[in-house]
A and B are shown apart, each in its own frame.
Chain A
Amino acid sequence: MSSRILYVDDEADIREIAEMALGLDPDFVVRGCGSGREGLGAAREWSPELILLDVMMPELDGPTVLGLLREDPATAGIPVVFITARTQAKEVAHLRSLGARGVIAKPFDPMTLAGQVRDFLDG
């Protein structure tokens, strides 16, 4: 059975690449959202197995979205992996301390993204 992956990122072209990269893998069904608010709604309605969440987004940024997900019993248990271009050790440690399962650096390699997601699902 395929795992549902929600990808939340305000950068449309990166979202499109991620959806393509993961959509080619039969283990995944992917849904993309262009804002944190849209992602929150999709998380409640779709109950994904994993959320890939961009950190810097207008209005609701990734950490804020993660906090709101954790406050809602319907989404509190969904693992979240942050996607970020800020990969300094201090920043990554901060994101992990918020409760993220992991961090994927931008730019990511579309060819290896599915493997990374699989590892996070297993982890």
Chain B
Amino acid sequence: MAALAARFAAQAGETATVIEAFLVRQAWTELAGPCHSLAGRAGMFGHADVGDAARAVEEAIDAGGAPDEIAQLTTVLLDRLRALRQSR
């Protein structure tokens, strides 16, 4: 379990890069995929804040939220992923 959690944390920077690329392109459909994955996984490894932020983005996309709203939520998610990466 600890090894899996360490691997998750180690991938946080890479995940943030992927998400940021989708954000820049406003590729909301593509963005939903990694957010859904994070929503289901992050809490398993002790990072519920990341999971909650990812779920908020996914739900906003599902609900057809405004681009500004999705972008703002995605920025929160990116901040938490970067904080996770820096805490390692």
Contacts and interface: CB of A to CB of B under 8 A. Distances in A.
Interface of A: 11, 13-14, 16-17, 20, 56, 84-86, 88, 106-108, 110
Given A11-B41, A107-B43, A17 B36 contact: no
Chain B interface SS verdict (over half) = helix
B34 to A, nearest CB: 12
Contacts of A13: 4, 7-8, 41, 44
Contacts of B37: 11
A106 B1 contact: no
14 contacts: A11-B37, A13-B7, A17-B1, A17-B44, A20-B1, A56-B36, A85-B36, A85-B58, A86-B36, A86-B58, A106-B41, A106-B44, A107-B40, A110-B44
A11 B40 CA distance: 9
A85 B59 CA distance: 11
A85 B8 CA distance: 17
B80 to A, nearest CB: 15
Interface residues of B, number: 17
Nearest to A83: B40
Contact of A14 (B7, B40, B55, B58): B40
A108 B58 CA distance: 19
B39 interface: yes
Contact of B44 (A84, A86, A88, A107): A107
Given A13-B8, A86-B58, A107-B40, 6 more contacts: A13-B44, A56-B36, A85-B55, A86-B36, A106-B39, A106-B44
A106 B58 CA distance: 14
Contacts of B44: 13-14, 17, 106-108, 110
Contacts of A17: 1, 4, 44
A11 B45 CA distance: 14
